[in-house]
Structure 1
């Protein structure tokens, strides 16, 4: 009998740790939702539900998602932070590792989660679509004995911002000649677990593991709980030495796991604040709630603290008390030493420039990312012996070919006064140097390899997959190319990605060619009418010349005519507005005695002139002058 019990125990132990396969059927549908309690709009749900479900698996498990697009537009899914070792085709960014999933099509994501545990998330990688709700949290649980800290209960939390218009509408106004400064769209609200004014009920004397994900696409946020601290134990899937802090600063796409110890007394409830980093906003609307109040509730019978208001003195006091920890100084729990000197150094100078169509674009070294006609992964697979030639992947994809096990440094100089969180697919990286904010926009701080303060690298650098560069400053990232694949590196402010702020790594191309791409993926490309053979321009043939022929490729907009600058362009727009105001003044005060019929005739003539010269605002340029007359 004892032997049987031992056998049963062993079998049960083996079953409990053996990998499992989790099968999901995700049907994308529109769902009407009022996320912030002030405006109802359609969001992208899964199986007619929004917010989206949290995916929870264990290390070494397999995930299969049958992803059916029932929307009226294309879609995709990226599993942020997962390495996709040996399964690069499952990474998700459209025109990088896959074709977009066309309406009515089903795409199979099938991969194992190996060597990773921690807090991750999944989201659309088609334009700025995840602003419409196609985003959710993915937890990879470790075995109990592998956790290096104790907790009694786990809580999952997301933060982000919310727009009342759909992302396609917001994007069209953002990427417009009527937005010559490239000012990012201002959200209407921030969200806390996809809603607002949340109450979190806790029990006294317990330790909570709080997994936090910034699922927004623009603003960083501050988080704090009054009279409580956070102890950071994980950053982007990497366990770190415990670090107690009074508040968190979390950029978009970053994740933290923190321990929160509840008090023994239940005599009081506390505010749990999430605060938009208002320095990232070009304009601060009066009705925008920069600070949002939620509550950590010990006792429902005790009065809740009142919400903090933007102009409240207590709000200013709260901000003054917050001193978020600089993540550069987080130490990985395993104390992974600094990688050896780089075999390859890639220096990226980032700028924002107005191009010939009057729209502001982002570029690295003067090149703004434009998607190829053939997804880059398929160019690798179909180009055979020419896959090692960087030219195959186009002149506007910012592609760098690196080889197996090379150590790579990314030096990024931010020549822009904004904050930018950058994410690398397929890897984590060591953050080995980062400058403070540059105070002179005309003279940003650039990395200098001969400056000892720039090259005083830490012995055990912070490791994560998303890191923010300071305004007019730089960072240096180091990683080992030990995961063959086509990997995107881009700003995770999705408005900036839409402006072209991205590069592509083709890592160990001949090893990539050994990976399997399932037939379903090729079928999906047919549905999307996208080729799976050829270089970035869709050209191919029997000769090297055929594969290096980029005639017909997608390229960035031509530059402004000589002599134009961003400031000059803005000045021109302002002068035009002044001129229009002058015409209006002449009409207003010089034609007061003209009867209404004559007035309408004059406006119709002005309408025809403006429309012919392309000078109308988009809302009026629809062929119907009645709208202009009414205005």
Structure 2
């Protein structure tokens, strides 16, 4: 999103402090129990978990040497929010910009950091990162516009946590046993991958707190009792200061804010993250949807329970933020991509997610490799296959993404390789953008920018960016269950430019060869006829219209079984009486049926941590 002259100036200015920062990461299994409820295997680094926060400085060259010691799973790393200018092959999504790193293999990520801010890194392979392979990635800025206004930096992650491992959860989620597509509900919320976290504060000091939601599913409402947050950055974009009592962070979003400590030390204060339970289809008995930490002024004093939050202002609306650089709205779009979001079943009985009736299925050849080997035909979206849902962009085009949510859930949409201007986001149940009365004249003159934005249920939004970063970039919902079920599309940006500038390291080609994955040709691996897509990976077929022969047979037998069952009940009723012991046993079993638990409605309170519902209707606390 930053203009080319700014990037050039940035590279010249940053040269004086640029360095090469190397991290050696051995990815393997360890055991952890962050919520104190269940030991379980988690994915650690160098024998430890939580995994390390990566910290670098603007302009640094970053070299990350990865060894996959998992033994039973492949992996990858994605550096969420980093543009990867000139190094799209280091972005990390499997079968998009690289092949997966198989067990026992090594892989090197090598890139320059060209923007400051708060980011994170995580696996981008088969829904893997909620098993622990995720942590903040911080790019320090010697010219941070707020550097004279704070005394210390604090990195704070918030996340949801599952007691079961992702392969088992994904297997059930994407099966005919779950036809409604109900996403697995986590068991707990965490701060810095633990609970009961203490943050020591010094009276009168101001802290620059970088907060990252590294969770898989739940958005989190966050507040610090007795303290305001002054927001100064979201998703790597500095903003003009905005004061908030409570913020909402979806999965993958980041927010940095200034928090000034009180001058007295007679009280410690709780801070809380509360899951957005409106995202959940069920409300399990073992769900602990709040996590509390404490701002500690005096460690000899008690840690009070959180107070009720009815008095808090409504959650801060990030659409009201103004970028610190006052970048004006980009010009009229050269291309508009409209994506309609919907969920539905395919003929394997499982539930899938769709953009425009296409559920994402990765190609046989990584999409970037097709762009690099397709010659002039790389500008034809057909060569990338039907199910990668690819759009080809010309260099420096202005692109609008219009997303219509034909679904009753929230979706945090993330764009790789760019930050976008958020021109419009409707309220809930507003319907498609095309049916609204919103016009370009109503778009803000200086739009908020970020790389992940929440779309509301049955609503719409308009995002705008400039295609000034040649590469292959995903656009997807960052609820990991929706990534797994196919809610993604691909932007292939300036592919002919890529062919001139990108040369794949031999290591990339070697890990593909070790798994028998082709590295040239179209989505089907066809090198001779790039428009012949026979054999491309595809999802299950659509549900058949009407009854199939198999369905008719099933219906007939169901009807016969029903008639027979009614006949048996009639016979049983005529033969028995009120003293029949079998009837008494049946009645007793009915009386002993377990209670059904109902998700609390807006305005109702539950007793966990003494927290009540806030002003926003989405809060279930």
TM-score (norm 1): 0.84
Give the aligned length. 549
What is the Cα deviation at residue 70 of structure 1?
A: 0.9
Mapped to 1, the partners of 2:317 and 2:399 lie a distance apart of 24
Query: In the alignment, which of 531, 535, 543 is matched to residue 518 of structure 2?
Result: 531
Determine the structure 2 residue equivalent to 1:550: 533
**Structure 2 residue 106 is matched with structure 1 residue 106:** yes
Mapped to 1, the partners of 2:24 and 2:183 lie a distance apart of 35
What is the Cα deviation at residue 559 of structure 1?
A: 1.0
What is the Cα deviation at residue 149 of structure 1?
A: 5.2
Determine the structure 2 residue equivalent to 1:166: 165
Mapped to 2, the partners of 1:19 and 1:85 lie a distance apart of 16
Residue by residue over 1:588-615, the C-alpha shift from the partner in whole angstroms, topping out at 9 and shown as x without a partner, is: x99xxxxxxxxxxxxxxxxxxxxxxxxx
Mapped to 1, the partners of 2:310 and 2:281 lie a distance apart of 20
Determine the structure 1 residue equivalent to 2:591: none
Residue by residue over 1:480-539, the C-alpha shift from the partner in whole angstroms, topping out at 9 and shown as x without a partner, is: 000000000000001001110000000001011121211111111112221101100011
Query: In the alignment, which of 334, 345, 359 is matched to residue 354 of structure 1?
Result: 345
Determine the structure 1 residue equivalent to 2:475: 489
- Over 3 Å counting, the alpha-carbon distance change for 1:449 and 1:284 in structure 2 is closer
Secondary structure, in 3 states, of the residue corresponding to 1:286? coil
Secondary structure, in 3 states, of the residue corresponding to 2:227? coil
Query: In the alignment, which of 492, 495, 520 is matched to residue 507 of structure 2?
Result: 520
Residue by residue over 1:82-134, the C-alpha shift from the partner in whole angstroms, topping out at 9 and shown as x without a partner, is: 001110100000000000111111111000001x0010000000011001100
* Runs ≥4 residues deviating over 6 A: none
Determine the structure 2 residue equivalent to 1:560: 543
**Structure 2 residue 53 is matched with structure 1 residue 48:** no
Map residues 6-25 of structure 1 onto 2, 5 A cutoff: 17-25=16-24
Determine the structure 1 residue equivalent to 2:3: none
Is this contact kept in 2: 1:26–1:66, CA < 8 A? yes
What is the Cα deviation at residue 285 of structure 1?
A: 2.1
Query: In the alignment, which of 424, 428, 440 is matched to residue 419 of structure 2?
Result: 428
Is this contact kept in 2: 1:87–1:516, CA < 8 A? no
Query: In the alignment, which of 291, 306, 320 is matched to residue 329 of structure 1?
Result: 320
Map residues 120-159 of structure 1 onto 2, 5 A cutoff: 120-144=119-143, 146-147=145-146, 150-159=149-158
Map residues 7-406 of structure 1 onto 2, 5 A cutoff: 17-71=16-70, 72-114=72-114, 116-144=115-143, 146-147=145-146, 150-306=149-305, 317-318=308-309, 321-406=312-397
Secondary structure, in 3 states, of the residue corresponding to 1:397? coil
Secondary structure, in 3 states, of the residue corresponding to 1:547? coil
Residue by residue over 1:354-402, the C-alpha shift from the partner in whole angstroms, topping out at 9 and shown as x without a partner, is: 1111111011111100010000000011111211111100011100001
Mapped to 2, the partners of 1:353 and 1:216 lie a distance apart of 24
What is the Cα deviation at residue 16 of structure 1?
A: 9.9
Mapped to 1, the partners of 2:465 and 2:52 lie a distance apart of 32
Is this contact kept in 1: 2:15–2:59, CA < 8 A? no
Mapped to 1, the partners of 2:14 and 2:420 lie a distance apart of 34
- Over 3 Å counting, the alpha-carbon distance change for 1:94 and 1:319 in structure 2 is farther
Determine the structure 2 residue equivalent to 1:597: none
Residue by residue over 1:4-40, the C-alpha shift from the partner in whole angstroms, topping out at 9 and shown as x without a partner, is: xxxxxxxxxx999421001111111101111111111
Residue by residue over 1:329-377, the C-alpha shift from the partner in whole angstroms, topping out at 9 and shown as x without a partner, is: 1100000000001000011111101111111101111110001000000
Is this contact kept in 2: 1:490–1:501, CA < 8 A? yes
Is this contact kept in 1: 2:159–2:216, CA < 8 A? yes
What is the Cα deviation at residue 152 of structure 1?
A: 0.5
- Over 3 Å counting, the alpha-carbon distance change for 1:145 and 1:197 in structure 2 is closer
What is the Cα deviation at residue 455 of structure 1?
A: 5.4
Secondary structure, in 3 states, of the residue corresponding to 1:513? helix
Determine the structure 1 residue equivalent to 2:410: 419
Mapped to 2, the partners of 1:16 and 1:151 lie a distance apart of 26
Is this contact kept in 2: 1:101–1:528, CA < 8 A? no
What is the Cα deviation at residue 179 of structure 1?
A: 1.0
Secondary structure, in 3 states, of the residue corresponding to 1:422? strand
Mapped to 2, the partners of 1:386 and 1:152 lie a distance apart of 54
Secondary structure, in 3 states, of the residue corresponding to 2:150? coil
Mapped to 2, the partners of 1:436 and 1:540 lie a distance apart of 47
What is the Cα deviation at residue 295 of structure 1?
A: 1.1
What is the Cα deviation at residue 452 of structure 1?
A: 3.6
Residue by residue over 1:47-98, the C-alpha shift from the partner in whole angstroms, topping out at 9 and shown as x without a partner, is: 1111011111111100111111111111000000000111010000000000
Determine the structure 2 residue equivalent to 1:540: 527
Residue by residue over 1:183-210, the C-alpha shift from the partner in whole angstroms, topping out at 9 and shown as x without a partner, is: 1101011111001111111111110111
Mapped to 1, the partners of 2:146 and 2:365 lie a distance apart of 43
Determine the structure 1 residue equivalent to 2:493: 507
What is the Cα deviation at residue 301 of structure 1?
A: 2.1
Is this contact kept in 2: 1:98–1:375, CA < 8 A? yes
Mapped to 2, the partners of 1:141 and 1:561 lie a distance apart of 55
Mapped to 2, the partners of 1:549 and 1:82 lie a distance apart of 35
Mapped to 1, the partners of 2:335 and 2:21 lie a distance apart of 39
Deviates more, 1:96-105 or 1:293-302: 293-302
Determine the structure 2 residue equivalent to 1:614: none
Which structure 1 segments of 5+ residues have no match? 1-13, 309-313, 439-443, 591-631
What is the Cα deviation at residue 450 of structure 1?
A: 7.2
Residue by residue over 1:162-219, the C-alpha shift from the partner in whole angstroms, topping out at 9 and shown as x without a partner, is: 1111100011111111111111101011111001111111111110111000000101
Is this contact kept in 1: 2:413–2:475, CA < 8 A? yes
Determine the structure 2 residue equivalent to 1:408: 399
Mapped to 2, the partners of 1:458 and 1:508 lie a distance apart of 28
Is this contact kept in 2: 1:433–1:455, CA < 8 A? no
Determine the structure 2 residue equivalent to 1:448: 434
Mapped to 2, the partners of 1:112 and 1:436 lie a distance apart of 39
Secondary structure, in 3 states, of the residue corresponding to 2:379? coil
- Over 3 Å counting, the alpha-carbon distance change for 1:31 and 1:319 in structure 2 is farther
**Structure 2 residue 454 is matched with structure 1 residue 463:** no
- Over 3 Å counting, the alpha-carbon distance change for 1:341 and 1:331 in structure 2 is same
- Over 3 Å counting, the alpha-carbon distance change for 1:99 and 1:540 in structure 2 is same
Mapped to 1, the partners of 2:313 and 2:213 lie a distance apart of 19
Is this contact kept in 1: 2:187–2:289, CA < 8 A? no
